[in-house]
Chains A and B, each alone.
Chain A
Amino acid sequence: MTISLPSFHNGEPISLASVPLLSIREFREEIIAAAGAGATLTALFGTPAESGRVRLFSVLGDPVAGGLAALSAEVDDAYPCLTVECPQAHWFEREIAEQWRIEPQGHPWLKPIRFQAPYRPPGRTWARLPGVTDFFAVRGPEVHEVAVGPVHAGIIEPGHFRFQCHGERVFHLEISLGYQHRGIEPALVGGPGKRTIHMIETLSGDTSIGHATAYCEAMEGLGGVAVPARAQALRAVALELERLANHTGDLAALAGDVGYLPTAAYCGRIRGDFLNLTAAICGSRFGRGMVRPGGVLFDVDPRLAADLTRRLDNALKDLEDAGRLMWDAPSVQARFQDTGAITAETCAALGLVGPAARACGVERDIRQDFPSGFFRFAQIPISRWSTGDVFARAWVRWLEIQRSGVFVREQLASLPHGAIQTPVGAPRPDHLVVVLTEGWRGAIAHVAITDPNGRFARYKVIDPSFRNWIGLAIAMREQQISDFPLCNKSFNLSYCGHDL
């Protein structure tokens, strides 16, 4: 780095005044240099500046040292894009262009990502009809185009997929989203309010615990309180149960997509067993109402802990059986292996996260790199594989299931004593806090910026899907179009978490 940036930790609030305000030239140089040296572009977004300009904020993460750095620059209507030199920025810059009507000049793929109204008046930058954009097209003999969605064949969220095919072979897939856009970010401004936590829990409703934990750690950082250890442990248990349920559901879906029905049927049921463990703790299968600023709302007494452990062991035993069938079936392996492969270099350049990144051999896990909450005291080993294909993405989930299972059992047997809640003070004014958690899909990033009254001037949510949709598009290149459902399930990304 050319300028030394002050470093801070996951969840540690810093005063807004301490965030360097650089020229756009310095801002770009810093980000490009840091990304070139292995930093992750944790966040890049705009906020309104007093001058009527837009202040771009960037958060860089150093996964080796575990430190974060923030920097900013003010821009008018255009600036030279980062994407060409730092591909991790590509989706962030498209978002900035759409939200703030700023042109990242030279961006190779500048199109709307959500078809939303811009935050900065007046009017609009692009036509607002979702899915209406100039899709990349391939022309030539025997080249054809396949359009799918927004309404798909299953019980699944909406999105539009445009394939450029040569026979069965896919040259290129372009993914156009935004159908799920509910206007969450503008609704969070001026908060926190009584609806805030409910929007957070449902911004990607299968990741309620992951996002609620990130939000609560942000509030606790800004409020300057330490959460009781027992509450932190229960949050970690809930987070890993969320991972167990979703990973198991993904294995069921993958088995189903290659027509291997025994594992599909068993895992589909066992996923529900894990959801029911979460419901036994807090009454909701999706963990709604479990995590709140200051702690958790539901305790686990020794009787419940014993019951949960017994049921967890049964579910894991059934899962071991159901999974083994699939791993031992050559017909399944033939479909999984070498399908939809991504290289580690591509993965790192695009900034993919979660099991999709770990399946490429990239060692990236918030629980290890930037631990917060209970993961500072209890570690879960990182699960990796190296082939980057559908098999690797499935196998990493399988490994993570084993490790999360061990973790939950250990924590239930040794929950720290004490309270499960503590009062949280008002958020500090004019501060910025970055919180990272490892949701089941990968790194969740929340950035809260408070105004002089301690209200949210900006609350930025970055769901792992925001980073990983491009991974699916890249994985489909040179694949058979019939393998799209399989590749899609191997990522299983959130539409609403992306669209917000």
Chain B
Amino acid sequence: MPSLFFTRLRQGQRTLPFPDAGPDLPERFRGLPIIDQSLCPSGCDACVEACPTDAIASDDSLAIDLGRCLFCSECSNACPQGAIQFSRQYQLAASRRADLVLKTGQSLQLAHRLADDLHRILGRSLKLRQVSAGGCNGCEADINVLNTVVFDLGRFGIQFVASPRHADGLLVTGPVTRNMSLALEKTYAAVPHPKIVIAVGACAIAGGPFREHPEVLNGAGAILAVDLFIPGCPPHPITILDGLLRLIGKIASPAAAHGEAP
């Protein structure tokens, strides 16, 4: 018993002060990609060709689909001019799928709070059922970590629950395999109304590295209406937490500014 006590003292208080203070991210962290169109040589499609998930389009100017992006840096490594750079912005969650397609000079429209009627019901107590539907255990692990003392998800009124009948919504990971689609549908049906769906990771948003495989449905959006998209492969836990807190209004999202880099 004394050793329990002294260990407790030595291990100390480890909960991050987030969101009151910013997170301590690694120097080499790859967050929101930034496009500098002025550096992009015309006629060069090196980044488009390098991207493993076809997340980059170059019709009139470059556009990156953060929903497909693996944040792997193949594009920035391929660009001879450095026109694409990964910034340290960890806030990546969006409310609409279309908001994740980031064009040159456009800042990301971050997720907004739930509509008033939903927010009144779910804003202070959000219970989620997690369903992995082909997830690689990367997203799952970094969702699980929100339950540790470091992130202490419970202090925000958010909890992962065992039964869909006790849940206010689903948090889906993985590209939604054909072999899991029925189980996902049944789990969704078991959640009482009103209910929300959150898609975490490139797989759940757009299929990730398995996009267009006949065995997958390219994400949760194929069978469910998604209320929150959290990009990444996997997203950093702080990115997931930031998205959840925006959804319940504990972090406010300004309207996106157009014409300037974020």
Contacts and interface: CB of A to CB of B under 8 A. Distances in A.
Interface in A109-128: 114-117
B26 interface: yes
Contact of B11 (A114, A280, A322): A322
A195 B11 contact: no
A147 B50 CA distance: 46
B145 A272 contact: yes
B251 interface: no
Interface string A159-200: 000000000000000000011111110010000001101110
Contact of B136 (A114, A154, A204, A283): A204
A499 B134 CA distance: 9
A325 B7 contact: yes
B214 interface: yes
Q: What interface size band does chain A fall in?
A: 35 or more
Contacts of A285: 142, 236
A262 B137 CA distance: 25
Interface string A270-288: 0110001001111111101
B53 A195 contact: yes
Contacts of A199: 209-210
A182 B175 contact: yes
Contacts, number: 182
Interface residues of B, number: 67
B149 A268 contact: yes
A150 interface: yes
Given A198-B72, A268-B149, A182 B210 contact: yes
> Nearest 6 CB-CB pairs, A to B?
A205-B136, A205-B138, A183-B215, A283-B28, A153-B162, A198-B209
Interface of A: 114-117, 129-130, 150-151, 153-158, 178-184, 187, 194-195, 197-199, 201-206, 208, 249, 262, 265-266, 268-269, 271-272, 276, 279-286, 288-289, 297-298, 318, 321-322, 324-325, 328, 494-496, 499
Given A183-B214, A204-B136, 19 more contacts: A117-B215, A153-B162, A154-B160, A155-B140, A158-B183, A180-B132, A181-B178, A183-B215, A184-B210, A187-B213, A202-B203, A205-B136, A205-B141, A206-B136, A276-B26, A282-B28, A284-B71, A321-B11, A324-B3
Interface of B: 3-4, 7-8, 10-11, 14, 26-30, 49-53, 70-74, 77, 130-145, 147-150, 160, 162-164, 174-175, 177-180, 182-183, 187, 203, 208-210, 213-216, 233-234, 236
